Structure 1
Amino acid sequence: MMPFYITPKTLTKQAKTLVKHWSYERLKLTKAREILCQLYGYKSNHHYKQLEVQKGLTLPSISQDVVFLNYRRWIQKLANLGSLNETQSKKMLHLLWNNYLNDNVKIPKYLYTATFTFYGECNDLLDESSLEYPFNDNPSVKDAIEALGLPHVEVGAIVVNGENVDFEHTLNEHDRVEVFSHNI
């Protein structure tokens, strides 16, 4: 992937924002710059500086549309680069691009969805037998089932994408989850 152009002034401002709002161990400015450079497609801060001084090289600049189109990917990448969960990464990205993101109605509240289908007596406690479950960080199947309104003690078996799983299985994007009661 070709890197995006970001001005040195914006990069420095964003690095300071990362340092100020970092939730774990103390983050140094050089490490923040390294994370941001990799987020925007550079191999490293050194690579960014090399390309920054090259004459005649034109890189695509970061516009509101670019931020929106890369939103999910940047959240995932920032989470990986910074050892954050995706909820923390999402908040951080909003701090970095607050002018573009905070009032943008196109930005989804949740990054992922899974489809749940309930069978047997599980349906006695729910309004619908099939539900979409939106989420950000990957929750366990147990947490998702309970969030949808079904106590986990009512569940006899869980099948995700055709495979039997236990309550600790974590959900992923587009998972198809089937939940069976004890009597099926």
Structure 2
Amino acid sequence: MNRYVSTLVAGLLGAAVAVSPAQAAPRPVPEAVMLQSADLGGAQPGPVEPDLIHPLLPQPCADAPVPQPIAQRSLAADYDPRHRVYENVGRYRPGGARAYLAALKDQLARCRAGGDDTGFRGIAEDTAGPNTVLFIRQYDEGDRWAAYLVAAVGRYVVVVLVTDPVVGAGDYTIVNDFGRAAIGRVRAN
């Protein structure tokens, strides 16, 4: 009996040691770091539609990878009759959030869309605090655009996207306001 118990315990310990931290599933991004209804003017956040044409982790240069999060969470909300707000929060390994922001800024400069091109154009940096970048994604031959604000906050990257499906012009003021609220949520949690 003792031999059986010893073998069983040794097997269980061996199995526990065999599962490394790299193999363990990452814990999810907590809901508390996401924009809430109170942040969205009463709008109820929900899931992102599967056919969204705008990336929630922008990569302006198709041929250059960007650091990827170990976990991420997204939401969408209709802010008013004309604007739809999206948020993606990704958690990175130490140093990864700043590395993503640096790669994004570099790619915005190298792969800038102009004229009637579809692509990304940088607008300004540090508009919603340090380590933030404001930019647009042009589409429909440059006639329409969506506004983005991206921030690196500790181990998190916060992406806020504002679209206007009616007119096709994302609003910089709205994206900055929601970006500040999203940054505040991450810092508070």
TM-score (norm 1): 0.22
TM-score (norm 2): 0.22
Larger proportion of helix: 1
